[in-house]
Every structure is written in C-alpha cells, then in structure tokens.
C-alpha cells in the first residue's frame, strides 16, 4: 500500500527528531520506502528521505537500495534523475554498497536523455570522491561484461575520469589496479577504444616516469602483435600499425627505445608493402600501397631517432630509405 505526502513528512519528522536514535523507529523508515510506490510527489520525497536516514537502518539496506534503484528506472525522467542524485548519499557513511551502485550508474550512462546522463556523471563522480577504486571497479564491470552501448559510454567515462583525477583522488595502488583492468579490456578492443584507453592511461601519475613510459610502450607493442607476420590483405592492419606507432612516438626517448617498432616496420611491414606495390602498381583506391608505405616511412624516420646506436638497427633502416630515394640527376 502506498503512502501520501503527509505520511512521508510525518515519518520524516519522527526520524529527524530522534536524531542518532532514529534506528529505534524502523516503522517510520519502512513508511518512507513505501513512498516509492506512490505518485510523482511521494516518489521524489521518498528518494530524498531514504538516502537521508539510510545509515541508521542497516537491516533495511537491501530493501532501501532496491526501492531507490526502482526509481532510477521510473518512466518519469525527473523522478529518475531525482533518484540518481541520491545514490552517492547511500555510501557516505558506509561504502560496502558503493561498487554495486557504481555498476548500476555505469549502466545508466547509456540513456538517450543527455540531462539524465549528466546527472549520472555527477553521481559517479560523487562516488569516485568517496572511493575511487570501488567506483572504477563498478565501471570496469560494465566495460568487460556489459552491453556494447554501455561499454562505449563506460570507456569514455573512465578515461574522462582518469584525465581529471588528482593525485589525492587516486593512490598508486588504485592506479595499478586501473592499469591491470585496462589491459584486460585491451585483449579485445577496436582501434578507437584502444586510443581512448591509452589517452586515459597516459594521465596516470605513476606512469609519468621513464619506467611508466616504458610500460605504455610495452602495451602498444603488445597491441601491435610484433611477433606476428604482417597481413597486407587485412585493410585495417596498416591503419592499426600507423595508429599504434603514432601513439608510441611521443613516449619514446633516449631512455625509452623504439627499436622494436623500427625493426617490425623494416623487417616485416615495409618489405611486404613494397612487394604489394610492385605487384599491383599504383592503386586507384584512396589509400594505395604506395601512399600507405610513404606514411609509415615518415613515422619510421621519426622513430629512428630513438633506437640507440645498435648496428643491427642501422642495417635494418638503411636499405628501406636507400631503395626509396630516387637517383640524383647528373649532367
């Protein structure tokens, strides 16, 4: 049986007057939860009052959470937003439900209502301030196991969150957890997803060192599958390689070498493209073998600055450019 606004305010007053002894009035709290079954006014009030007194009634926690989550799926967008706003308040006194609630909020990122998504983001950020690792575990759960629409939105939220997080928000343990979970995601990602994830990871404070940049380069190298043969028949292969090399270049330096990428380009990719160019000639497609090869050679030239002084590297690079450079005109 639902309750009306008057009954809700009466129950609210009873609990508010009791202050720290509110737990002695469980029936009043149960009345408030019944408000989620009423009209629009009682639903909005119930959402506020449930979160307000939540900490006093651990035995009613499951019912209270479910009542609030029911409102997050209400047909009325204003009621949904009112309920979503209250979710962080459930975790202020006790964080045991935080990861679960972050998981739910991550699912709601797929809403078509931009104003609702904005409220979801605010609530997720509120949880993040309370417990960064717990919040991100809920987000990761949706990225790894949620629907495609949710996955896409959750990845974007994750990376936006990482870019704006301060050192006080995320300790090294949390950042290492993020890196480990991100590697799981990268086992099956699109090119765009990989690029977004790498942009987010680049913001992690513990990766702003030589060792950190080396970890990032290692991730990119793994994504390129440098041990595999280059498949020229795969139209996405060159794009993927060019994208990965482009991401690796800013990370390379005298201390973080690009040798693996240079060897791969010189020994596996460019020779294969040269053969294709010789076989097919100048392709009429928008991106011909010749064009793709030229773009990769430009990247190779830049990366060759960060390969150290190894003779084997020089021997790999030299033939590529000697064979490409046209003979000089003589008179």
Q: Write down the pLDDT at residue 288.
A: 59
Which pLDDT score, from 0 to 100, does residue 53 have? 97
208 token code pair: 């702003």
- Per-residue pLDDT at 267: 85
What single-letter DSSP state applies at residue 306? G
What pLDDT was estimated at residue 311?
Answer: 44
Write the burial class of residue 13 (CB in 10 Å: 0-12 exposed, 13-18 middle, 19+ buried): exposed
- Taking 70 as the pLDDT cut, the residues of the chain under it are 1, 235, 280-290, 308-331
pLDDT at 218: 94
**Alpha-carbon distance 14 to 29, whole Å?**
9
pLDDT in tens, 192-218: 999 999 999 999 999 999 999 999 999
Is the CB of residue 178 less than 8 Å from the CB of residue 138? no
**98 and 133 Cβ atoms separated by less than 8 Å:** no
**pLDDT attached to residue 234:** 75
d(CA 125, CA 104): 14
* Nearest partner of 303 among 272, 281, 270, judged by Cα: 270
Give the pLDDT of residue 303. 85
Token pair listed for 255: 């201390």
Q: Distance between CA 141 and CA 143 in Å, rounded?
A: 6
Query: What gap in Å lies between CA 162 and CA 233, rounded to an integer?
Result: 37
Q: What burial class does residue 21 get, using C-beta atoms within 10 Å of its C-beta: 0-12 exposed, 13-18 middle, 19+ buried?
A: exposed
H helices, E strands: number in the chain: 17, 0
In the chain, at which residue ranges do the beta strands (DSSP E only) sit?
A: none
Query: What is the full DSSP assignment across 19-51?
Result: GGGGGG-HHHHHHHHHGGGS-HHHHHHHHHHHH
Quote the Cα angle for 27-30-35, to 5°.
Answer: 135
Asked if residue 264 lies in contact with residue 222, where contact means CB atoms within 8 angstroms, the answer is no
Show the CA angle centred on residue 45, arms to residues 39 and 46, nearest 5°.
85
């Amino acid at each position: 049986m639902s309750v009306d606004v008057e009954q809700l305010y009466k129950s609210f007053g009873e609990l508010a007057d009791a202050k720290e002894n509110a737990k002695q009035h469980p029936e009043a709290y149960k009345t408030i939860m019944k408000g989620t079954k009423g009209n629009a006014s009682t639903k909005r009030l119930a959402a506020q009052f449930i979160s307000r007194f939540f900490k006093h009634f651990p035995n009613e926690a499951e019912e209270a959470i479910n009542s609030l989550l029911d409102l997050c799926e209400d047909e009325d967008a204003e009621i949904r937003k009112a309920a979503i706003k209250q979710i962080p308040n459930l975790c202020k006194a006790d964080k045991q439900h935080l990861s679960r609630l972050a998981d739910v909020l991550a699912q709601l990122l797929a809403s078509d209502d931009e104003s609702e998504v904005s409220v979801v983001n605010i609530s997720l950020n509120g949880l993040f301030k309370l417990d960064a690792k717990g919040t991100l575990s809920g987000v990761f759960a949706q990225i790894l196991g949620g629907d495609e629409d949710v996955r896409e939105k959750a990845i974007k939220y994750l990376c936006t969150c990482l870019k704006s997080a301060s050192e006080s928000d995320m300790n090294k343990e949390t950042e290492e957890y993020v890196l480990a979970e991100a590697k799981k995601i990268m086992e099956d990602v699109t090119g765009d997803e990989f690029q977004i994830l790498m942009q987010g990871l680049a913001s992690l404070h513990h990766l702003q060192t030589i060792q950190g940049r080396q970890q990032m380069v290692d991730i990119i190298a793994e994504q390129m599958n440098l041990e595999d043969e280059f498949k020229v028949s795969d139209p996405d292969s060159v794009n993927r390689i060019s994208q990965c090399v482009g991401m690796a270049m800013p990370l390379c330096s005298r201390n973080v070498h690009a040798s693996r990428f240079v060897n791969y380009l010189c020994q596996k990719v460019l020779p294969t493209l040269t053969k294709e160019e010789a076989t097919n000639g100048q392709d009429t497609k928008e991106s011909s073998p010749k064009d793709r090869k030229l773009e990769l050679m430009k990247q190779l030239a830049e990366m060759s600055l960060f390969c150290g002084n190894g003779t084997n590297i020089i021997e790999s690079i030299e033939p590529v450019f000697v064979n490409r450079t046209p003979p000089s005109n003589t008179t």
